[in-house]
Amino acid sequence: MTLFGSLFTSVTGLSAQSRAMGMISDNVANVNTTAYKLAEARFTNLVVQQAGSRAYSPGGVSARPFHTIGNQGLIQSSSSPIHVAIVGRGFFVVNSTADATGQRLFARAGDFATDSLGNLRTPSGFYVQGWRLDQNGAPVDVNQLETVNVNIVNGMALASTRVAIGANLDADQTAFTGAYVAGDMAANLAGGGGVAPHFSRVVQIYDSLGRAHELTFAFLKDPVANVWNAEVVADPADVDTTVHPNGLIASGQITFNGDGTLATNGLTPVVAGAQGAVITWLAAGGADPSDLVIDLGEPGTTDGLAQFASPTRVAFVSQNGSGVGTLNSLAVDEDGFVVASFTNGQQRRLYRLALATFPNPAGLDPRTGNVYAASIESGEYVLLAPGEGGAGRLAPSSIEASNVDIADEFTKMIVTQRAYSANARVISTTDEMLDELIRLRR
């Protein structure tokens, strides 16, 4: 029984070392696989219950794989803006199909790419999941993940909500002494008589459809010292003139302090909105009304309009809108936001990647494609935003390398080979002993 037990024990040793060599070969083969986690052979002895204190029955050994899923790989830089690495705990959530009917799986590999339909996918073809965001960058539904698809936006336009002008109005300008009423400069600019401004400047703004419009800032020196009449005028062909006669958007008096700084901004909108002056565009154009803040500077400063005894000149004009732009590039930032950039210089957050954390990541079930499935050993996952609630942070334009150490694997290969040879020698030795036993009868 003991000799045959030795044979069986050595067979388990050969089997265990073979399995260990298989894990080593798998590790070496995947040394360049993004975020691959090496498998280690964990050996466990097999004990046969002994018949007595002086008897011994050999058992053997078994080898079970242990995946070092919780071990961080080296973070390497990448030239792709949609490559991203997890530093710390967590897994990207992926799906086997683009819709919700597929299997939900988990991955550490962040070397993403977009397919022909605009879906963000892993190299093995799984679909990356995230929270879809509205136009304000807030999640549409925090309880629902969906496949990240950049084709949800074909273009983008940004309506102007603020316009600012910085200029010096000449304090030595000869004042207008005629009869002036609000709207006279608008009538003059529209070609209908009125009063010509002493100074005017055109600023381009954009409506909600990305259509460009011109606003004219017009100024007329008042006989009262340090006072200027001001009007903001749109092209009458662009606006509803029943609301904005001759295109008038706002009018009033601008006053200055004796040191040249702005005292008061007396512009009053024709139609006041929640933020500033409402501009009602022509209905035929289809654009929503604009609610425009007209910024002439902070009172008591010269960061906008000022009045000094020097020629009138403009220092700057600015507005925050833009025309229509098409999708130009895509990037994933350190907070997990998938950001689309457009040819008009604007950016928009489309999705936010979710990270799944597990009580026992080592208990995950590895699957083909460098992904993992949840199991009883891993526990239930929790979805978190990157960097929150114990989830790892993200490293943009980076990938996580395999955690395989080639030198260590080759060392284990030598040990495994020697162990296999030793078990084979035990078998051959036991065979010789059995042969000797058989020859005793001769």
Per-residue pLDDT tens over the stretch 130-146: 999 988 888 988 889 99
What is the distance between the alpha carbons of residues 331 and 335, in angstroms, rounded to a whole number?
11
pLDDT of residue 60: 82
- Residue 439: pLDDT above 90? no
Neighbours of 116 (CB within 10 A): 6
Instruction: State the average pLDDT over residues 77-94.
Output: 95
pTM of the model: 0.74
**Lowest mean pLDDT, pick from 151-165, 219-233, 279-293:** 151-165
Q: So what's the pLDDT on residue 246?
A: 95
Domain ranges of the chain: 2-68+403-439, 78-156+327-400, 160-320
What is the average per-residue pLDDT within 22-46?
A: 90
pLDDT score for 193: 87
- What is residue 199's predicted lDDT score, i.e. its pLDDT? 95
Worst-scoring range by mean pLDDT, 126-140, 222-236, 305-319?
A: 126-140
- With vertex at residue 369, the alpha carbon angle to CA 367 and CA 370, rounded to the nearest 5 degrees, is 75
pLDDT of residue 54: 65
Q: In angstroms, rounded to a whole number, what is the distance separating the alpha carbons of residues 361 and 358?
A: 5
Q: What confidence category does residue 435 fall into, taking pLDDT thresholds of 50, 70 and 90?
A: confident
Superfamily of structural domain 160-320: Flagellar hook protein FlgE (2.60.98.20)
- E strand or H helix that includes residue 36: none
pLDDT higher than 80, residue 170: yes
Average confidence score pLDDT of the chain: 91
pLDDT digits (tens, 9 = 90+) for 356-381: 999 999 999 999 999 999 999 999 99
Task: For residue 2, give every residue at least 6 positions away whose Cβ sits within 8 Å of its Cβ, in sequence order, or none.
Answer: 56, 57, 58
Give the per-residue pLDDT at 65: 87
State the Cα–Cα distance between residues 7 and 434, nearest whole angstrom. Answer: 10
pLDDT attached to residue 12: 86
Please tell me which residue, 55 or 350, carries the higher pLDDT value: 350
Q: How far is CA 373 from CA 103, 362, 370, in A?
A: 9, 11, 10
Residue 70 has a pLDDT of 86
* pLDDT beyond 80 at 62: yes
Share of the chain above pLDDT 90, in %: 70
β-sheet bridge partners, residue 407: none
Q: At what angle do helices 406-439 and 2-29 cross, to 10 degrees?
A: 160
Q: Sorting pLDDT into bands at 50, 70 and 90, what band is 437? A: confident
Q: How does 181-198 read in b/e, with b if 16+ C-beta sit within 10 Å?
A: ebbbbbbbbbeeebbebb
